[in-house]
Chain A
Amino acid sequence: MEEKYLICEDSLEGIFTGIYDAYALREGHEHLHIQMGEEENLRLFASYLHILPDPVKTEKVADTLEKRLGEHAYHALCRAAASCYPDKGEAVYKTVVDALTAGSGRRVMENLKNPYVARCFELARFTANEAHYETEFIRFQELADTETANGGVLFSRIGPKNNVIPFIMPHFADRLSIENFMVYDENRKLFGVHPAGEAWYLVTAGEAFVMQEPARSEKEEEYQELFRVFHRTIGIKSRENKKLQRQMCAYRYQDYMVEFQQK
């Protein structure tokens, strides 16, 4: 039988719509594949279907997965779908097949013998780890001319490999509930925005968008310097170990952190 490739948009919506359409085709799952973005090398004896993301189908798939697989496995699939690797679509799709069709159900993420589940597990872990690091290493700065009762608007710039903003916003929305803040993902030109006391949301800036360095509030420089001093002081000289420091906090995070910017 002919192999069919469903070409989906690189997003959670794209992948879920792809899964919906793959099931709708009702042809054995072993001959169906999901591919992210554009086809690279065209294969002989294979046909290609272009899938447009559809919010209704996405919602149906999301509902089914959450109901049938449970919150835990569903979130793992969402994290895998936010990965930066292009084989994520296929991994998520075949994991869903293992859960719903092969019957591992709520236990699907434990079935690490299945190579797709193992891959999904790996991708989800990478996203989860990176999201965890970002919650730790994000540095907010207070912007000028935005004074409210609780201080100025907080702004942070990050450059993660995976699309982590949707996973870190709930944490900060709870923690800084009374603050106005936003997080900007440089690599995806994506903003996570939280107005004080309200729900957070995502804003996508266009491809051509260029982020200007925003003006900082008066006090900002002072607190950055205070933290730099604290950071320098708290290390014990006779135990100095830059390699360990780098292992615990990689350079790609350090680039965005005030205490590692020499002034």
Chain B
Amino acid sequence: MFLNLRLSDCLSQIGETLGKETDNVGSVRRMNVRIAPQMSVMEKLKILGDAAKYDVSCSSSGSSRKNDGQGIGNTVAAGLCHSFAADGRCISLLKILFTNECIYDCRYCVNRCSNDVPRASFTPDEVCELTMEFYRRNYIEGLFLSSGILYSPNYTMELICETVHRLRTVHRFQGYIHIKAIPGADPLLIQRAGYLADRMSVNLEMATAEGLRAIAPNKHRKNILKPMRQIQNGITENKNELTMYKHAPHFCEAGQSTQMVIGALPESDYQIMSVAESLYDKFSLKRVYYSAFVNVNEDKDLPALVGGPPLLREHRLYQADWLLRFYHFKVDELLTVDRPNFNTAIDPKADWAVRHLECFPVEINRADYHMLLRIPGVGVKSAGRIVAARRFGNLTFEDLKKIGVVLKRALYFITCNGKMMYPTKLEEKYIVQNLTYQNQMGRGEKLPFMTDGTAYRQMSLFDNDDFGRNWRAAGG
């Protein structure tokens, strides 16, 4: 019965058909509509915000658009974080599900159809009003709209498009919009969404196809990669159009991203990073997100996480991800088949450096930009500043400090005018010891979760490499 009605009529009727079973119509599956009749926006926001929180991406970057004076909103290339939640993650977008009713039964997901959780759906108007009112108060940078699969992928994708279309046209909203592409939805719907959104994303969920099959029986790798490829092609075509016609509409100006769950299955870091690298290279993704697995469903086939989610592992993967995107590293330089996991005690860049001591020490006043980037303690910004500042004269350690180089990490790897900062040994063991010794004193590498969380201390129990895989599989 639903499909014969217009979308908005449907939504107003969902409340009325409370508890009734809908008939099988076309692709619509038999299911209960479990929405309380007069649920307030507050209650819906509680349920649907809660349901969306495991989606990692909340960035509002990559898109730069001025306001046209007709409505509110613009976008800033670097993105803006408007608040930070109690877990320290940024809140940039109003991240909600359109509905948490879902016909799928993915094991890791809190909204799987076999779970008995309160279900709710927004109406397009409610989403628009929330977005507009939050946005003008500067609470958010835009909207991130995802959804459970209501009836079918097409139906859901249409709902999302309808909502965003209304936001863009009726409310003339010009802020950032991130839309989830629903795998299996019609390519035309994906294309329509792409012209409305700044960013789209399709979640890869698991690094390997086998992993996905085991954990999300209704999802198929092929269905995930198809819209990803379509969006990539859309963006490329759009770029060509824009060079020809300046005022052509933008298609996913901020690119596309994806996300992988970490630690639910015994995949190695090498596998995960290789997948990420090929996504960057072959699918031109803007970002790959890694999400430390949280066993929300206490599923018996998934690891129970004794020490909380694998945050340190997630942190190392992000560090390596940055090395790929901004520091010109390749995955094969960081990991190999024989060494498939990152060293937990030391960050991937320092780890690479101590295993390639033949490249060091680097002379700050002579080395090229690429080599500067490889020095632990030197970032993209400070490398750029070094190259600019040394035109005016030779740099000293004092100058490096002002430039922003982290000398307590860099000092083992650099010389200024042929001299090292202190007499140090250029030995792997000695340097590792020093870098990690500082770590224990809380002065070295700053981990974002060391002092509060038990995560770090528990991990150091298992620092032994042979142990690595086991505790990871156990979710340490």
Whole-angstrom distance between the alpha carbons of A239 and B136 in the complex?
Answer: 30
A234 at the interface (CB under 8 A from B): yes
Residue of A176, A225, A248, A258 near B42 (CB, 8 A) is A225
CA distance A10 to B80 in the complex (A): 31
Interface size counted on chain B using CB atoms at 8 A? 61
A-B pair number, CB within 8 angstroms: 166
What residues on B are CB-neighbors of A140 within 8 Å? 136-138
Complex Cα gap A226–B81 (Å): 18
A229 to B91, CA, bound (A): 13
Residues 369-390 of B at the A interface (beta carbon under 8 Å): 385, 388-389
A residues 153-190 near B (Cβ < 8 Å) are 154, 156, 171-172, 174-179
Contact indicator A177/B86 (Cβ below 8 Å): no
Q: How far is the CA of A231 from the CA of B449 in the complex (A)?
A: 20
Query: Is the Cβ of A139 less than 8 Å from the Cβ of B139?
Result: yes
Residue of B41, B71, B134, B402 with highest tally of chain A CB at under 10 A: B402
Question: Known: A113-B399, A240-B86. Contact between A234 and B95, CB under 8 A?
Answer: yes
A151 is an interface residue with CB less than 8 A from chain B: yes
Known: A113-B393, A179-B136. A238 touches B95 (CB 8 A): no
- Chain B: interface secondary structure? loop
In the complex, chain B residues whose CB is within 8 Å of the CB of A238:
294, 305, 308-309
Contact B49 A230 (CB under 8 A): yes
Main secondary structure of the interface of A (DSSP, over half): helix
Beyond A175-B67, A231-B83, A234-B49, whether A248 also contacts B88 by CB under 8 A is yes
Q: Is the CB of B88 within 8 A of A259?
A: no
A168–B271 Cα distance when bound, in Å, is 44
Which residue of A112, A137, A156, A229 is within 8 Å of B389 (Cβ)? A112
24 CB < 8 A contacts A-B: A104-B392, A111-B389, A112-B389, A113-B389, A113-B399, A122-B402, A137-B82, A140-B136, A141-B137, A175-B73, A175-B74, A175-B175, A176-B136, A178-B70, A178-B71, A219-B133, A223-B134, A231-B85, A234-B95, A238-B308, A239-B309, A239-B311, A247-B88, A248-B88
Query: B4 within 8 Å of A by Cβ?
Result: no
Q: Name the B residues within 8 Å of A245 (CB-CB).
A: 84-88
Within 8 A of A (CB), among B297-332: 305, 308-309, 311
When C-beta atoms are compared, the residue in chain A nearest to B175 turns out to be A175
- Residues on B with C-beta less than 8 A from A243 are 88, 451-452
The yes or no answer to B356 lying at the interface (CB within 8 A) is no
Q: Flag if B451 contacts A239 (CB, 8 Å).
A: no
Residues of chain A with a CB closer than 8 A to B389's CB: 110-113
